[in-house]
Homo-oligomer: A and B are copies of this chain.
Amino acid sequence: MSNESALLTDLYELTMAHAYHDLGMRDVAVFELFVRRLPPERRFLIAAGLPQVLDYLETLHFTPADLDYLAGLRQFPAEFLDYLGRFRFTGSVHAIPEGTPYFAQEPILRITAPIFEAQLVESRIINLMHFQSMIASKAARCVSAARGRRLVDFGMRRAHGAEAAVFAARAAFLAGFDGTATVDAGRQFGIPVSGTMAHSFIQAHDSEEAALRRFVSATGQPTTVLIDTYDAERGARRVAALARELKAVGSPGQIRAVRIDSGDLIARARAVRGILDAADCPEIEVILSGGLDETQIEALLEADTPVAGFGVGTRLDTSEDAPSLDMVYKLEVYADKSRRKRSSGKETWPGTKQIFREHDASGTFTGDTIALAEEVRSGTPLLHEVMRDGRRIASLPGLGESRDRCREWVARLPSALRALHGAQQIYPVTVSDEVRALAHRLDQAGE
């Protein structure tokens, strides 16, 4: 991702940057990233995407080709384009660690930099943090619903483009998925990859029996086969016969699991489980897929469906029930003065802020306060400095470590927040008196 173009931004960031440059406005600005309100079906969100933001900020620069394109727009003077050619991000970043649950209005990332720089990076920072956070939040719901069953991301084909596919796999793994089918995500992030066959492999043979036999033989190791190309129960009987034969001859190719991808999954899984057990193949697992999400996973398990794992695709990678978050990046301070937007329905809390999270004796989180960063308060402060003068202060936790943090911190949420449906449980998030007083003073004094 480090070769991405500096032109991956909204034009207005460059138009404003030009105006700031032209007007000599070089003071430091503080921008904060937050979600204004949660989608109806979310009680918490998971922070994700920070390493990609830092990669972006560390490598951001305009190439001669970028500058040529901008010159062709005939709206930027040559002197400004020269300045862009020398531009590097020199600011600092504070952020909450990846894998941390967060709530509406809480600043999860803060940029402190000359206003030109802090403004320019808005579009891509939102783009990076928004998508991974949205997917991690959806994935966390699937993980809760799956009660320990294996979960694999199958969503690449209907993810919104290449980057979405790879980052969805990453965000899902962060939130507790076991792996992905997307090979490039495995390569880029070390996520376990899995995947064996599509229906087309069965169809390319004149008989399902021959297809199964030949696939296992070619694969030469324990594998998963699809059994619903024509008739899932007949497929299961064929698998059972073949599995016994393979075991008898000690073949390196074995059938580890069968996958069902269509029809009434509860009834089919039960029938197939029964066939496999009756044929003395209790070790062959049943895997389910096909338009699944957390709601269907929950329903399958509440019906005691015999299933060892799920492939979750389109509805995960698109966050189908909430395909966007109301995530914004807002100016809070410029030239040491706090700032407040008052557009109807889009008002902001001014000042440089921090989140303080409290917990009870058992470790369960009991509430957050959004306070000024300078306030001295009880509770754990969640935002930490991770970049200074445009360089990382230290290496971030690895993806596995962030995944552990996510599991632990989600487990520490009040249990009602982890329920999938029903009335939205409100986790207590309060805005400190100091922040409120600051907002009031700005409303009185200024525009």
Contact = CB atoms under 8 A, between A and B. Distances in A.
Interface in A261-304: 261-264
A374 to B, nearest CB: 21
Contact of A344 (B69, B184, B263): B263
A142 to B, nearest CB: 16
Contacts of A139: none
Contacts of A339: 203-204
A434 interface: no
Chain B CB count within 10 A is highest, among A11, A18, A203, A263, for A203
Interface in A166-188: 166-168, 181-184, 186-187
A346 interface: yes
Interface string A335-369: 10101111111100000000000000000000000
A12 B198 contact: yes
B167 A161 contact: yes
Contact of A12 (B124, B197, B331): B197
Contacts of A341: 199, 203, 229
A165 B127 contact: yes
Contact of A263 (B7, B70, B343): B343
A195 interface: yes
A411 interface: no
A157 B10 contact: yes
Interface in A226-252: 228-231
Contacts of A161: 127-128, 131, 160-164, 167
A230 to B, nearest CB: 5
Given A341-B203, A342-B230, A131 B156 contact: no
Contact of A11 (B195, B231, B335): B195
A77 to B, nearest CB: 9
A130 B154 contact: no
Q: Do most interface residues of chain A lie in helix, strand or loop, or is the interface mixed?
A: mixed
A10 B166 CA distance: 11
A265 to B, nearest CB: 10
A53 interface: no
A119 B200 contact: yes
Interface string A395-422: 0000000000000000000000000000
A309 B128 CA distance: 28
A96 B194 CA distance: 34
Contacts of A344: 228, 262-264
Interface in A37-78: 66, 69-70, 73, 75
State the oligomeric state as a number of copies: 2
A7 B187 contact: yes
Contacts of A20: 204
A9 B69 CA distance: 32
A214 interface: yes
A159 interface: yes
Nearest to A74: B221
Nearest to A207: B447
A194 B219 CA distance: 53
B15 A219 contact: yes
Interface string A300-313: 00000000000000
A343 B262 contact: yes
The 10 closest A-B pairs by CB, nearest first: A161-B163, A11-B195, A12-B195, A160-B160, A263-B344, A19-B218, A160-B164, A262-B343, A200-B331, A323-B323
Given A7-B183, A160-B163, 6 more contacts: A10-B157, A159-B160, A203-B340, A204-B339, A230-B343, A262-B345
23 contacts: A5-B184, A10-B156, A11-B193, A14-B195, A15-B219, A15-B223, A19-B197, A22-B218, A69-B186, A119-B200, A126-B158, A127-B158, A131-B161, A160-B318, A204-B334, A204-B335, A206-B337, A229-B343, A261-B343, A261-B346, A262-B344, A318-B318, A320-B323
